[in-house]
Structure formats: structure tokens, C-alpha cells
Amino acid sequence: MINIENYHRPSSISEAVQLLQQGEATIVAGGTDLTPQIEAGARQFESTLINIQRVEEMRGISVTSGRYRIGGLTTVTDILESTTLAADIPVLVEAADHFASPQIRNAATLAGNLCNASPAGDMCIPLLLLDAQVELVSWIDESVSTRRLALCDFFIGPGKTVLQKNELLTAVEFKQPVAGFSASFQKSGPRPALEISTVAMGFAGVLEAGVLRGVRIAIGAVAPTPLRATATELVLEGRSLNESAIAQAVEAVQEEVKPIDDVRASAWYRTHLSGVYIRRALALFQGVTAHAA
Amino acid sequence: MSSIKMGKAIQTSPVFEKKTIIGQRVTKPDAPDKASGRTVYINDMVLPRMLFGKILHCDRVHAKIISIDTSAAKALAGVHAVLTGYDIPELKFGPTRDNRTLKAGKVRCIRDEVAAVAAESEQIAAEAIGLIKVEYEDLPPVFSPTEALKQGAPVVHEDHPDNRSLSYEFSHGDVAAAEVNSDIVIEHEFEVPYVTHCCMGPGCVIADFETNGKLTMYSQTQYPYNYKMDLAPAVGIHPGDIRVIQPPVGGAFGSKLDVYPFEPICALLSKAVGRPVKLTFSREEEFINSPTRQPAEFKIRSGVNKDGTLTFRSVDCLMNNGAYTSWGPTTPVIQMRTFTGHFRVPVVEYKGLAAYTNSVYAGSFRGYGNVQATFVTASVMDMLAEAVGMDPIAFRLKNAQKPGEVTPQGSKLDDCKLRECIEIAAEKTDFLKKYKLYAQDRVNAGRIKHGIGIATSIHNAGGAKIHKSDGCGSILKLDDYARATLITGASEIGQGIDAVLSQIVMEELGIPMSDITIVNNDTALGPWDVGVHASRTTFVTGNSALRAAKAARKQILRAAARQSNVSAEQMDLREGHVVQADNGVSIIKLDKLLRQMHFAEEPELVMVSEYYEPDSELEDKNHVGNLSATWAHGAYVAEVEVDTETGEVKVVKMTAVQDVGRVINRLGIEGQMEGGISVSLGYALSEQLQIKDGKVLNPNFRDYKVPTAPETPEIELHFVESDCKASPLGCKGIAELPAIIPAPAIANAVYNAIGVRFFAPPLTPEKVARALHDQVPDNTQ
Ligand SMILES: Cc1cc2nc3c(=O)[nH]c(=O)nc-3n(C[C@H](O)[C@H](O)[C@H](O)COP(=O)(O)OP(=O)(O)OC[C@H]3O[C@@H](n4cnc5c(N)ncnc54)[C@H](O)[C@@H]3O)c2cc1C
């Protein structure tokens, strides 16, 4: 049942967080997660609905002295079409390209994807590779208060984050990756279009004097949250890319993922795919770095 | 050239060449409105004083109803009526009369309707539903048909203590003897899943019970005339007191070929409130409550001699009937024809049995049982070919029937084009070369494996006499402006019959399509028809329209001949004129002639009615008889790529060769075939309504995966035009074969690619990866 008593359309972050501070509010951005959840009865509106679409300062992609900032209201289409990102951080664009359909991408926001905290949220994956931070804003003691937090500490379970009820996710930030950084994104599903990931995998690293450095592996839909596969990263860190390193990485990643059986796939298949994808990611990485060298 | 004097100028009579519209590409008359959003679908309709209905479905699979408390719902402002099964008489309906509208006593599956509400708005109706309290006492459930048939299994219907629903048996020849005499005998088990139609327009009905006791149903039905008959017992009125109006619908595909409880429930709500009531399913309700395709388990034994001659085929089909009987468990009638009559098999045997369970129930779905039969037979044909060391083409050609053969069940293959279809399919795809190459490549390393596969089938293509009548009536009239109106029994559910009928009228009367109106949405106007099913609409209703058009033409030419020195036989109708057939010179404009006829001393209107009944037979009690006026074959070739690591199957190309008799609307036939291929692609690779313990786990488009544009393969179509003698129009029914044949062609192609045979569609990436993994040690481990 829809029991919304108040509807607000703030036009600034300050206005939005003041409204949030009053409590019992639901934030809606693109609504592409919220609406189906409400429709399915999986979730209920609070008495106040806050539509944040008019908070212009939460939109857009910018770079200031090597630090990238993507506003929370930036849509997946904005990311897909960003020439800055295409040039500098193509892995974000790749993830956006695998995301839903044009209609959904036009509405879906980055903040919505992160705050919805689905283990299968696609945009989380490249951002985890980039060691991104989230910016959380609230209204405390009559003023705007901001905290920053590593994205990997943001998720705590399926649909659960450390976001407080009075907080708004305003932006995501990350540093310019180091020279030689190469990253990939893979996503599976029986249907190339409009697919919720069975497994999504991001891989990033740098090849330094023939050995792997700064290895980052992020995997979607194999654990209660988007997963940073740190144990597998360690297996690869400092190694040269030979068959034994690859075989160990496959073994490690299949050990590290903790998937479940659900209507989309079995735990076995997700584990299997994680192995396939890490192997492919490493082959891709090898190809790209060999080409660059 | 003849000329007539007009004022000062001498004007030459216009000349019209003979042109034909049959076989051309014609846009459906409803397309522009649909494309531009003007069409008012039933889901969009609002009637004055209309209320909104909603149903409380049970959340149990098998339980006694202890009590239902509707007091809070009734007290809610805006609620006009709340009904339960205890407020209405027990009115049984359904093909075997085992269903009732609102349940009382007990519930038998997750769909069961326990209460219904009519209210001022959908929101209020939903809120009222939430206020109804039902107390249940759970009963032990049974979900698998095998379990249901065991002694001591929970009983679904007390009057069927053995849980047996419908059963079928057919046999021809001595199977035991044939088996002994066969060089090779193979036996396999197959299982086919629940799939659902996914109509874009979810279930919707508006019922309007008038004060005079008559009922008007605005319905999505695809069989309006029988619908009256089937609905009447559920509502407790005379079929003659029901009028069915068919607004535009968002798809049907067989799902609207029965009466489902929500429709009579809506009528009962309307009766209770004395106002029109509209009831619409949400997408989730649609996934859970609309009928599925019949799931089944098959055991098939087949024999072959070393020279490749088929010796016998014996099939056991066990169907999950679900809690009630709709058309799903009757599909063996069509399925059996393929098992017993596809390819020349001298000895055949078929047994089918449906067992009641506490699962959801199946209806009809494009292909009507033949989808399942073809998946099984086409897979087995490839296995037999391999067993005797023949290629799939040679083996099929060896056993293909010739024109004039009659199958053991009496299907007359007068103009059988099976061989042509196979030969063209093999030639156009360079089948044998690829088939051998891909099979050899299996042993090589490589992530992507290519495969090619063929499948064929047979289907009724001249209607299917499952009722005493399979006919259709047509009324055709022309007005003073030479505008024609065809009032037909044919239903338009998006399949494009309006275009086809317009073409037929245009061809005979020589008037433009834009001057033809088709009226076919009201049982008070239209003459009898048996509905959109069995690939019958173009064949039956088209031939009916042809009769009417020919009769009108005859009347017109007779009148024209009376006032000219040219005989009727030497005249033709072209582009709004009566012309001399040999040179095309206009004799008189048609509208002028029609006015002259109308205002003559002995006035006459062109206003004809005709009825067409195809030349087919009802089956006898042994399932023998020529059920359809004609039969058609098709041969489809799938080319696939299999990712051996992820198990993903990509269909790269589908080549379809089909006997269509004669193409009427080329654009329409292409649309039907492409659409059918898409349906079958989903059946092969991704679609499955996942049902666990009687509950639907994926009632949404996120997890129920219909194919989308990117995975649609390149499609190449070839029409074999046999100019069917049984059809005055020369055409055959074509619409189901495209939804039947592709899936096993894909499975056969996957076998060619990776050497793994799948006995249960869909071939999901996980299933394929698992099979490959189980076959060889996982190289990623
Ligand atoms: C058909 C379909 C296909 C999809 N395909 C994909 C896919 O391929 N990959 C994928 O990852 N996802 C997919 N999704 C899910 C969804 O589109 C994404 O998660 C999307 O990014 C959510 O963004 P939104 O703006 O629509 O969020 P909303 O639905 O508006 O919000 C989602 C949640 O986040 C909260 N929220 C939103 N913004 C903020 C904020 N700034 N601060 C705090 N809380 C906030 C809301 O309160 C809500 O709880 C799909 C959804 C649909 C319907």
C-alpha cells in the first residue's frame, strides 16, 4: 500500500539532508531499484518521499588535480557517454556498457546502484578496483557534515550498507590510477541484454618489470556483498604471469568466493565462472600489457 | 479502344492491368495505430461507473479452508462487494468440469482464488484484499506426477482418488515383434519444462452484468464463440445470454483459449454490484496465474534397421496435470500425430497420462503439444542416425514420406513436401560439409565450438477438428461508395488476420485495402468461428472470406453483364472498376454500378453470407481420422557457437524451410515465422518457469528470461509453395511450426558442437557447463 504523506523535491544537498534529518524518509533517485521492490512488496515507503533528482550539485563527472569525482546522481548513461572516463578509466565505461538497457541506464544513478547494495550491483565492481571512496553527507548541529569512507567498507550485507538514515551519498571519488594500470570487466548471463549478473568480475593491476603489482580483484554476485577478493590478489601480487600463477589464482578465487544457490544460478556455477573469469582476466591483462610493452 | 463522349472532350476509358495482392507484403491495418500509441487495448479501457476487481489468491498449495473473515474488507470505504466461495453456488467449469471460480472447502494450488473484491479503485481493492483473513489447515501436498500416481499419495480431488486425470492410448502394429526384429533399439527419457506465454498485455477482463440478466464480457479471449459456452456454466447463465466483445489485446499465443477463473469471478462481482467491473493482473499475478505450456516426462523407445529404415516408435508421456484441468493435458491429441506420423514408422505406440498434483496447471500454447513431441523426436532422429552411421540428412530422407501416404492415425499427406523441405534446408546451409567439419573439430582444443543441427516436424495446417465444427462464417457487404465491410468470425489477436482477409476481398473485388473494413470483435455481430488456434485462422477464415468475396463478385458481374454487351465471364474487377478481362478497359466504375443496382426498379444490395467448413474429420475413439484438411512440414537448421568454458550457447543463424501452401501476406508470414523462432529460441536456451514445492520462484521478467533482440539470430526463410489442393486459397496454416521446430534444431547443433546430448531444455549456460564439466575434468580446477 502506498502511504506517502509528504513529498519533497529539494534542490540542494543542504536542503536534502535537512529533510532527511527529520526522519522517516525514503530517498528516490532513478527509482529503478526502489519501484520494483515496492511493487513486489519487498519494501515499504516511509511517510516522506524525497526525490533528489533536482540536486544539480550531485551530478556530473569532474577531475581536480588527479582526483576524479562522480556525483551520486550521475546516471549510468552519463558514465557510458563520458569521454573523460572513456579516455582515462575505460573499465567504468565497460561496466556501464554491460548495464541493463538504454531506458534503465538513462534513469539508473550511481548512488542508487551503490546504496541498493545488491551483491550483483555492476558499478560497484570497477569502483572497488579503483579503491574508490564514497562521500556521505548529513545535517548535524545545524550544518552540513561530510564523511568519507572506502567503498569496500561501505557494504555490510545484501541490501545493507553503513549509510545512516540521515545520510545522503553525494559522490564517489578516486585517485588517478598509476601509470600502466590496466583493468577489465566481465559479466555473464544467458542473455546479453538486460541481465542481472550471475557473476561479474573486475580485475586490475600493473605489470612492473615482468611482475604483477597493485592487483585488485572485485567480484559481483558471489558473496553477500560485492567482494574484494583480497586472498586471490595476494596470490598474484608480485608474481610473474605464468601458468602456475594463473592456476593458483583460479584455485584461490574458487576458494574465496562464497556464492549461494538461487533462481539465477547454483553456487557451483558461480564458483566455476569465477575460475573461468579470472583466467580470462589474466589473459586479457597479459594481452594488453604485452601490447603496451 | 472504346470511348465515350463527355461534354466537349473525348475521354478514353481508363485501362487497368491485372495485378495481384496475394503474396505481396501488406502492412497490418492495425499497425499504424499500435506503433503510434493510439490503440485502446482492453487494459486501457474504462467504462462509465466501472469498479475494479481484485482476487485473493491463496498462499498455500494444499489446505483446508477453516474460515474466511471478510468483515474488515467489507467495512473499508470504497468497497462494494466481497465474495468468497461460500457466497456463490458451486458452479463447476473447465474442459473436464473440475474447476470452480472461488474455492470453498479446500485449496489445491498456489493459484487458488479464495475471495474477490470490487471497489472504487485498484488501490482500495488491493487494500481490501489485504484485510481478508483466511485460516487454513495444511494438507500433505504432492508435486510430481510420479509421486501422485503412487498408492497412498495425497489426493488432490476427492472424486479422483487415484489422481489420474486424462489419459490417451494409441497403437498400430505389434511393438514387441518389431522390437525383436530391429537391428538397433534405443531408449531415452526426456523432460520438458513449464514455460509461459509472456503476453505483453497481462490478463484483463471487464464484465458488465446488465439489469436484464444479460452479460457482456470485454475479453481477451481468442475463441469468442466457444468461450460463451465454456463461461456460461461458471457464471450460471445461458450461453445465449453472453455477448463477447474483443478489444485489442497484447498477445495471446494460446493462453486465451480457455476460461480461467478470474473471468467468471469478474462476472460474479459485476452481478453482485450491478456495475461493470474490470479485473487486471499485475505482471507477477500474470506469471503465477496464467496457464503454462504443458510440462511432461517422456520415455521413448525407437528401433531402426542397419540400412536406416525406422522400425518402430513407442512413447510414454507423463504429464503434470496440476490442480485443475485446462487444455494442457489435452495436447496429446496433437502431440500424438507427430509421434505416430512424423516420418514413416510402420509400428507405433503412444500412451499419455496426466496426474493431478498441487502444482500450477497448463493450458494451450502455440504448438499445442507438438513443441514437446518435436523436441523428443527430432533429438531421437539424430541419435538413430548416429547409431546406424548415417548423416542426419540422408537418414531423414530415407524415412521421409511421399505425397499420398497416410499415417497410422489417418493423417493424409496428400501433398507432402517433407523431402523438399529437408533437401532445401541442407542445400541452403551447406549442411553436410559443416556438420562433418564441426564434428571433427570437437576433439581439438578451443574455447568456442561451432555446431549445425537440423530438425523437422509436421503440423495440422488445415485447421484441426477438435470440435464438431471447425468452420467459420463470413458476411460481406458493399455500400453505395464501393466500400466493403467483412463481418467475420475470425478473431484478430495481433496475428494479422485483418490484413489477410482484406487482401482476399481486394483480390476478388478489385477495391483498395483502405476501402475494406473488417468487423470481428463482437459475437452479437459475427458469425460462428472456432477461434485462433491450430494454425487455422488464415486457412479456415480465409477460405470463408474467399467464398463470400466470390459470391459478391458473382453478383456484381452478373449485374454488370445485364447492362453491357460483355458477358460476366469476360469481365474482371480491378481498381474500383468493372473491366474487360482481356484488355483491362473499364466498362463502368464499381461504385456507380453498385448505386445503379441499389436504385434500380428491382433494387438489390450486394450483401452476402457464406460458411466454410474444412474437409477434415473428427478422430474416432481410437484416435484415427484425418483431423486436419491438410498437413504441413518444415525443416529448420540452427547454427550455433558454444562457449565451452561458460556454457553459453549462441545461435548464429536459423534457416527455416516450410511448406506454406501459398504465401498470402508475405510480411505477415515473415513476422509469424520470426516471432515463432524467437519463442522457440527461449524454449531451447533460457525460458523456464521455476516451480518449487508448487510455488513460482521467478514471476518476473528479470528472472524469467525471454530472448531479447541481441540474442536473436540471423534468420533466413524459404517458403515451399505447394499450392494446397485442400485449400481453395492454396494456402496452409503456418503459424505454429516456427515455434515448434527450432528448439531441437538448436539442441542437435549443440550436440554437433560439443558431443553432449541434452534431454531437458532449456540448455542454460549452467546446464551446458555442468555437462561439459562432468564429462571432462574441469581445466580451470
Ligand atoms: C530492468 C532492470 C535492469 C537492471 N539491470 C541492472 C544491471 O545490469 N546492473 C546493475 O547493477 N543493476 C541493474 N538494475 C538495478 C538498478 O537499475 C541499479 O541498481 C540502479 O543503479 C539503481 O539506481 P536508481 O537511481 O534507480 O536507484 P533508486 O531505485 O532510486 O534507489 C535505490 C536505493 O538507493 C537509495 N538511494 C538512492 N540514491 C541515494 C543517495 N544519493 N543517497 C542515499 N540513498 C540513496 C534509495 O533510497 C533506494 O534504497 C536493473 C534494474 C532494472 C529494473
pLDDT 10s digits, B191-248 = 999 999 999 999 999 999 999 999 999 999 999 999 999 999 999 999 999 999 999 9
Question: How far does Cα B625 stand from its chain's mean position?
Answer: 22
CA nearest B81: which of B100, B56, B53?
B53
- For ligand 1, what atom is nearest to the CA of residue A73? 41
Q: Which of A1, A190, A279 lies nearest to residue B764, judging by beta carbons?
A: A190
Maximal CA-CA distance, chain A? 62
Q: In what order do the strands lie in the sheet with A48-51?
A: A6-8, A48-51, A25-28
Q: Which three cell numbers stand for residue B159?
A: 472424486
Determine the distance in angstroms separating the CA of A48 from the nearest CA of chain B, rounded to an integer. 19
Which of the four pLDDT bands, split at 50, 70 and 90, describes residue B7?
A: very low
Q: Which three cell numbers stand for residue B713?
A: 539470430
Per-residue pLDDT reduced to its tens digit, B747-759: 999 999 999 999 9
Per-residue pLDDT reduced to its tens digit, B236-255: 999 999 999 999 999 999 99
Determine the distance in angstroms separating the CA of A279 from the nearest CA of chain B, rounded to an integer. 8
Rounded CA-CA distance B128/B117 in Å is: 7
* Average pLDDT rounded to a whole number, residues B256-270: 98
Contact B581, B570 (CB under 8 A): yes
- For ligand 1, what atom is nearest to the CA of residue A109? 25
Contacts A–B by Cβ distance under 8 A: 69
What pLDDT, on a 0 to 100 scale, did the predictor assign at position B776?
65
State which amino acid sits at residue A119.
P
Which of the four pLDDT bands, split at 50, 70 and 90, describes residue B780?
A: very low
Q: Which of A191, A272, A279 lies nearest to residue B708, judging by beta carbons?
A: A191
Please, which residues 22-41 of chain A have a Cβ atom closer than 8 Å to chain B?
Answer: 36, 39-40
CA distances from B449 to B391, B639, B752 (A): 19, 11, 9
What pLDDT, on a 0 to 100 scale, did the predictor assign at position A242?
93
Sorted by sequence, the CB contacts under 8 Å of residue B352 that are 6+ apart come out as: B166, B167, B168, B169, B316, B317, B318, B319, B332, B335, B336
To test the pocket of ligand 1, the residue of A115, A147, A166, A168 to mutate (highest count of ligand atoms within 8 Å of its CB) is A115
Q: How far is the CA of B741 from the centre of ligand 1 (A)?
A: 40
Q: Which three cell numbers stand for residue B53?
A: 476487481
Contact B410, B625 (CB under 8 A): yes
ipTM value, please give it.
0.92
Rounded CA-CA distance B2/B528 in Å is: 46
Which of the four pLDDT bands, split at 50, 70 and 90, describes residue A160?
A: very high
Q: Where are the domains of chain A?
A: 6-51, 61-175, 182-292
Contact criterion met (CB < 8 Å) for A40 and B130: no
Q: Which residues in chain A have Cβ-Cβ distances shorter than 8 Å to B121? A: none
Rounded CA-CA distance B575/A42 in Å is: 62
Alpha-carbon dihedral sign for residues A85, A91, A92, A93: positive
Q: Which residues in chain A have Cβ-Cβ distances shorter than 8 Å to B765? A: 188-190, 198, 269
Q: Which of B127, B698, B781 lies nearest to residue A263, judging by beta carbons?
A: B698
What pLDDT, on a 0 to 100 scale, did the predictor assign at position A197?
78
Residue B138 β-bridge partners: B63
Which of the four pLDDT bands, split at 50, 70 and 90, describes residue A192?
A: low
Rounded CA-CA distance A224/B677 in Å is: 38
The protein residue whose alpha carbon is closest to atom 27 in ligand 1 is A112
Contact criterion met (CB < 8 Å) for B686 and A250: no
Complete domains list, chain B, with CATH = 2-39+471-612 (3.30.365.10), 44-139+202-248+256-289 (3.90.1170.50), 389-463+621-780 (3.30.365.10)
Rounded CA-CA distance B448/B87 in Å is: 62
Per-residue pLDDT reduced to its tens digit, B608-633: 999 999 999 999 999 999 999 999 99
DSSP H or E stretch at residue B191: strand B184-192
* Average pLDDT rounded to a whole number, residues B678-685: 97
Per-residue pLDDT reduced to its tens digit, A222-243: 999 999 999 999 999 999 999 9
Phi (first) and psi of residue B264, to 5 degrees = -65, -30
Q: Which three cell numbers stand for residue B443?
A: 576433439
Contact criterion met (CB < 8 Å) for B781 and A276: no
Contact criterion met (CB < 8 Å) for A188 and B773: no
* Average pLDDT rounded to a whole number, residues B696-713: 92
Rounded CA-CA distance B145/B163 in Å is: 9
Alpha-carbon dihedral sign for residues B739, B745, B748, B754: negative
Contact B375, B747 (CB under 8 A): yes
Maximal CA-CA distance, chain B? 99
DSSP H or E stretch at residue A61: strand A61-64
Q: Which of B123, B284, B705 lies nearest to residue A190, judging by beta carbons?
A: B705
DSSP H or E stretch at residue B544: helix B542-562
The DSSP call for residue B540 is I
Q: State the architecture of A182-292 in CATH terms.
A: 2-Layer Sandwich (3.30)
Per-residue pLDDT reduced to its tens digit, B433-442: 999 999 999 9
- 3-state secondary structure (DSSP) of residue B333: helix
Rounded CA-CA distance A115/A98 in Å is: 19
Kindly calculate the radius of gyration of chain A based on its CA atoms and give it in whole angstroms: 19
Domain A61-175 falls under CATH 3.40.50.300: no
Which of the four pLDDT bands, split at 50, 70 and 90, describes residue A293?
A: low
* Average pLDDT rounded to a whole number, residues B113-124: 97
Q: Which three cell numbers stand for residue B715?
A: 534468420
Sorted by sequence, the CB contacts under 8 Å of residue B744 that are 6+ apart come out as: B374, B375, B376, B377, B378, B379, B453, B455, B684
* Average pLDDT rounded to a whole number, residues B544-569: 97
Q: Write the burial class of residue B40 (CB in 10 Å: 0-12 exposed, 13-18 middle, 19+ buried).
A: exposed
Contact criterion met (CB < 8 Å) for B690 and A192: no
Contact criterion met (CB < 8 Å) for A251 and B769: no
Phi (first) and psi of residue A75, to 5 degrees = -90, 165
Please check the confidence at residue B3 and state whether its pLDDT lies above 90.
Answer: no
Q: Which of A36, A40, A190 lies nearest to residue B685, judging by beta carbons?
A: A190
- pTM tops 0.90: yes
Whether the CB of A169 is below 8 Å from some CB of chain B: the reply is no
- CATH code at A6-51: 3.30.43.10
What pLDDT, on a 0 to 100 scale, did the predictor assign at position B769?
96
Please check the confidence at residue A292 and state whether its pLDDT lies above 70.
Answer: no
Per-residue pLDDT reduced to its tens digit, A270-290: 999 999 999 999 999 998 887
What pLDDT, on a 0 to 100 scale, did the predictor assign at position B702?
87
Please check the confidence at residue B777 and state whether its pLDDT lies above 80.
Answer: no
Question: What rounded mean pLDDT belongs to chain B?
Answer: 96
For chain B, which residues lie within 8 Å of any Cβ of chain A, measuring from their own Cβ?
123, 126-127, 130, 282, 284, 645-646, 648, 685-686, 690, 697-698, 700, 702-703, 705, 707-711, 764-766, 769-770, 773, 778, 780-781
Q: In what order do the strands lie in the sheet with B586-589?
A: B571-574, B577-580, B586-589
Contact A287, A184 (CB under 8 A): no
Rounded CA-CA distance A180/A178 in Å is: 6
DSSP H or E stretch at residue B285: helix B283-289
Sorted by sequence, the CB contacts under 8 Å of residue B149 that are 6+ apart come out as: B162, B163, B164, B353, B355
Lowest mean pLDDT among A104-113, B9-18, B282-291, B709-718: B9-18
- Measured at the alpha carbon of residue A204, what is the angle toward residues A199 and A205, in degrees to the nearest 5? 150
Q: Which three cell numbers stand for residue B371?
A: 513443441
Contact B344, B400 (CB under 8 A): yes
Residues in contact with ligand 1 (CB, 6 Å cut-off) = A 26-34, 36, 52, 72, 99-100, 104, 107-109, 111-113, 115-116, 121-122, 163, 168-169, 194, 196
